[in-house]
């Protein structure tokens, strides 16, 4: 079954902004969300960190998803990192979002104007000593870095079981 702290890599097939994100980040994944519990996940949005129903991303016609489980981190550390995420307060606008994408595309290694969804998760996990790439600033982590890291384990079979159980209800 899916667990608190699992990471959901997401690709939207329809929205053109997703194509732009994919192109700028050199990744097939355009969004990253964090499993909060059996029904909700945490996402970084323009209004800050929000809880969203997991079922939003289960429509195969619109989204492609991949579930990853963090290896080598204790449950209490995951809970601490998620608590950091929930406490984050920030706002962002589309100009800053586009400027951040340009900086990512050119791998400009300085603090970006906004925190990306993958940067938010990596930054919160770094607060408890977990790193996707040891020598890369967590705020600069992209969905491709998370996907290519050896730290998380692909557990898509868990997601398929979760979907089947949800369809029965």
Is the CATH number of domain 7-168 3.40.50.720? no
The pLDDT, as a whole number, for residue 23 is 64
Taking residue 41's Cβ as centre, other Cβ atoms within 10 Å add up to 23
Residues 107-165: pLDDT tens digits? 655 555 456 788 889 989 999 999 999 888 888 888 889 999 999 999 988 887 887 77
**Is the pLDDT score of 61 beyond 80?**
yes
Percent of the residues in the chain that have a pLDDT greater than 70, as a whole number? 75
Domain boundaries, the chain: 7-168
CB 33, CB 98: distance < 8 Å: no
Residues 12-43: pLDDT tens digits? 877 766 666 676 667 788 889 999 998 999 98
Q: pTM for this structure? A: 0.81
């Amino acid at each position: 079954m899916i667990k608190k702290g699992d990471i959901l890599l997401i690709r939207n097939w329809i929205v053109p902004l997703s194509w732009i994100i994919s192109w700028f980040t050199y990744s097939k994944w355009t969004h990253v969300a964090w499993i909060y519990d059996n029904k909700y996940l945490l996402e970084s949005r323009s209004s800050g960190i929000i809880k969203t129903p997991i079922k939003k991303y289960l429509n195969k016609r619109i989204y492609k998803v991949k579930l990853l489980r963090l290896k080598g981190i204790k449950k209490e550390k995951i809970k601490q990192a998620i608590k950091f995420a929930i406490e984050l307060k920030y706002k962002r606008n589309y100009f800053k979002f586009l400027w951040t994408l340009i900086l990512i595309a050119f791998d400009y290694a300085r603090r970006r104007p906004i925190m990306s969804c993958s940067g938010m998760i990596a930054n919160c996990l770094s607060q408890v000593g977990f790193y996707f790439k040891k020598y890369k600033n967590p705020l600069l982590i992209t969905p491709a870095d998370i996907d290519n890291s050896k730290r998380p384990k692909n557990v898509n079979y868990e997601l398929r079981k979760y979907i089947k159980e949800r369809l029965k209800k």
